[in-house]
Amino acid sequence: PMTVAVNEGIESQDNATIELIFRDDGGNAAQGVAAANALVDEDGVVGILASYQSAVTEVVSQAMNDRGVPVVNAASTAPTLT
């Protein structure tokens, strides 16, 4: 869990807070897209932290791009993603 500034918000954003919501993609591209869509549709997220697996990140990134939802990823290393 993130323990930094647990009881404080983002000062420059009127003390807004960030909630992390997890969904498991199981390393599967179709499951990753389904999980990302559920995060947006059911949980109301405004951004996605993508998968470790490049194949999953690639399809999730495209699906979320089509929906206008930003995707951030620091783990996938496929040349098409970097």
Convert the pLDDT of each residue in 56-79 to its tens digit: 999 999 999 999 999 999 888 888
Output the pLDDT for position 12: 84
Output the pLDDT for position 6: 62
The token pair that represents 56 in the structure block: 């999953």
Q: What pTM was estimated for this model as a whole?
A: 0.82
Q: Under DSSP, is residue 47 helix (H, G, I), strand (E, B) or coil?
A: coil
The token pair that represents 17 in the structure block: 């807070």
**81 has a pLDDT exceeding 80:** yes
Residue with tokens 């930003």: 70
19-60: pLDDT as tens digits? 889 999 999 999 999 999 999 999 999 999 988 899 999 999
Q: Under DSSP, is residue 34 helix (H, G, I), strand (E, B) or coil?
A: helix
